[in-house]
Amino acid sequence: MEEIIFALDIGTTKVCALVGEVRAGQLRIIGLGIEPAQGMRKGMIADVNEAALVIARAVEKAEQTSGYSLSRALVSMAGEHIESTNNRGAVAVGRNNAGITPDDIDRALDAAQAIAIPQNRQIVHLVPRRFKVDENDAVRNPVGMFGYRLEVEAHIVTAATPALMNLQKCADVVGIKVEEFVLNALASAETVLEQTEREMGVLVADIGGGTTDVALFMDGMVWHTSVIPVGGNHVTNDIAIGLRVPFEVAERVKLQYGDCRPAQIDPESIFTVEPFGGEKIQVGRQDLAHVIEARVEEIFQLVLHDVRESGYDGMLPAGIVLTGGAAQLRGIAQVAYRVLGVPARVASPRNLAGLVDALGSPAYATSVGLLQWALSGQNSYRPKPRQGEWGRRLGTIFKALLPGP
C-alpha cells in the first residue's frame, strides 16, 4: 500500500504545495502547486486574507496534478519569533528483563520539556540530542539497555502562539488541518545534508526571502537552531534603493546580473536599467556586485555571531551548507567561506523522483524536506481519491473571506 503525504511550505516569497507518494519506503512527488506569496513578511503572516487566497491556489494546483483531495499537511514555520534552548530530563527506570523501553524515553523527554515559557509561546519541537544511562554518557539509543537512571539532553524549539495561530487560520480557511509545524531549517536539513556531515558537525543556513534559518548538527543530531530576520529580499531592497528602481525590477537585476564577487567582475561590464522617472541608465556589474557583497557579508556575520553565541564556534569541521532561494546568488559560497572560515557549499534537494523538473533548486529545499521529514515516520496518511470539481476549494475560500451579512 502506498502512503500519501502532503507538505505546505508558506514562505515570504512563494507558497509551495507538494504531494508525495511513498511506496516501499521510496518517495515520489506526484503533486505540485507553486504560487508567488502575498500577505507574508519575514516568514510570518501579515495579511490572513491575502495569504489564504495564495495558499488556496497552490493547494488547488497540487490537487489537480496529484488527483487527491488534500485535508492534512505538514506546514513550514519561520520568523524571528522562533527561539530555542537545551534542557535535561532524568527519570528512574524499572528493574525488568526488557531494559529501557520507549515509554521510559517519553517520560525523560517529558521531564526535559518542563521549562518555564511565557503563556503566549509553545513548544514546537522536542528533539533528543543525547542520552545517558547511569554513568554511560555515550548512548545513542537507550532502548533495551539496562540501568537505574535514564537522562536525556533535548533541544527545544518554541514559537509565538499567535504567529502559529495565524498560520493555522490560513490553513483552516483553505480546508487544511495542520498535522505539524516544522522549522524551515530542520526540514531543509532532511534533503540537503549527508549523514557524515551531521556526524562531524555542520551548519545549515536556509537563506529565504525574509529570513535566514539556521540549524547546527553534531553527532548526528540537531544541537542549535535560530532564525535571523535578514534574507534575500534585503539584497533586492538594497539594489532597489541604490538604482532607484521598483522592487520587481531590482529582483530581475539581481537574478540576471547579480554576483557576490566584485573582484571577479569585468569593470567594463555594464547593463541598462530604467529607474523611476523613465530615463534609462547604464550600471556597472561590478558596482552592483559591491552592493550585493556588502549585504551578503552582513548575513554571514550575523550567522557567525549566532554560532558564537550558541557556544559551538569551532565545532563545524563539515562547514556550512547553504540552501534557500538566496543561496543561488553567484559566489555566495565564497563569501560564506571568507566570513565564517569553514568549508561552504550550495545544496539543492537530493534523491528526487516524480515531478522534479521544477524542484531541483535550493529554493525548494524546505518544501521537499517537509515530505522527507514526514517520510521519517511522522504524519503520513492515506486520503481518498479526489472526487468532484477542481474549483471546489477556491469557491470555499472566497465564500469564507466574504464579509458576513
Q: Are 120 and 164 in contact (CB under 8 A)?
A: no
The length of the chain, given as a count of residues: 405
Distance CA 137, CA 149 (A): 11
Distance CA 396, CA 126 (A): 35
The pLDDT value recorded for residue 357 is: 82
* 143 CB neighbour count, 10 Å cutoff: 13
Instruction: Supply the DSSP symbol for 201.
Output: -
Distance CA 369, CA 182 (A): 10
The pLDDT value recorded for residue 377 is: 52
- Residues 6 or more apart from 141 whose CB is under 8 A from it? 131
Closest CA to 34 of 5, 9, 58: 58
Pairing type for strands 121-133 and 212-218 reads: unpaired
Exposure letters 251-288 (e unless 16+ CB within 10 A, then b): bebbeebbbbbbeebeeeebeebebeeeeeeebbbbeb
Distance CA 174, CA 51 (A): 10
Pairing type for strands 121-133 and 136-139 reads: antiparallel
The pLDDT value recorded for residue 378 is: 39
Q: Identical fold at 83-161 and 232-292?
A: no
Assigned CATH for 83-161: 3.30.1490.110
Instruction: Supply the DSSP symbol for 194.
Output: -
Q: Which CATH number fits domain 232-292: 2.60.40.720, 3.40.50.300, 3.30.420.40, 3.40.50.1820?
A: 3.30.420.40
Q: Are 26 and 19 in contact (CB under 8 A)?
A: no
- Residues 6 or more apart from 184 whose CB is under 8 A from it? 11, 43, 76, 77, 78, 206, 208, 211, 213, 227, 366
Q: Which long-range contacts (CB under 8 A, 24 or more apart) does 128-133 make?
A: 128/152, 128/153, 128/154, 128/155, 128/221, 129/86, 129/153, 129/154, 129/155, 129/219, 129/221, 129/222, 129/223, 130/219, 130/221, 131/105, 133/100
The pLDDT value recorded for residue 394 is: 53
Q: Are 4 and 383 in contact (CB under 8 A)?
A: yes
Pairing type for strands 281-284 and 270-273 reads: antiparallel
The pLDDT value recorded for residue 121 is: 94
Distance CA 146, CA 96 (A): 9
The pLDDT value recorded for residue 389 is: 39
Distance CA 326, CA 338 (A): 18
Distance CA 240, CA 254 (A): 10
- Domain ranges for the chain: 83-161, 232-292
Distance CA 273, CA 278 (A): 9
The pLDDT value recorded for residue 351 is: 84
The share of the chain scoring above pLDDT 70, in percent, equals: 92
Distance CA 158, CA 84 (A): 6
Distance CA 251, CA 386 (A): 38
pTM value is 0.89
The pLDDT value recorded for residue 397 is: 52
Check the CA dihedral 373-374-376-379 and report its sign.
positive
pLDDT tens digits along 121-151: 999 999 898 999 999 988 888 999 999 999 9
Which position has the grid cell 545517558? 132
Q: Which residues of the chain have pLDDT under 50?
A: 378-392, 405
Chain-centre distance of CA 179, in angstroms?
16
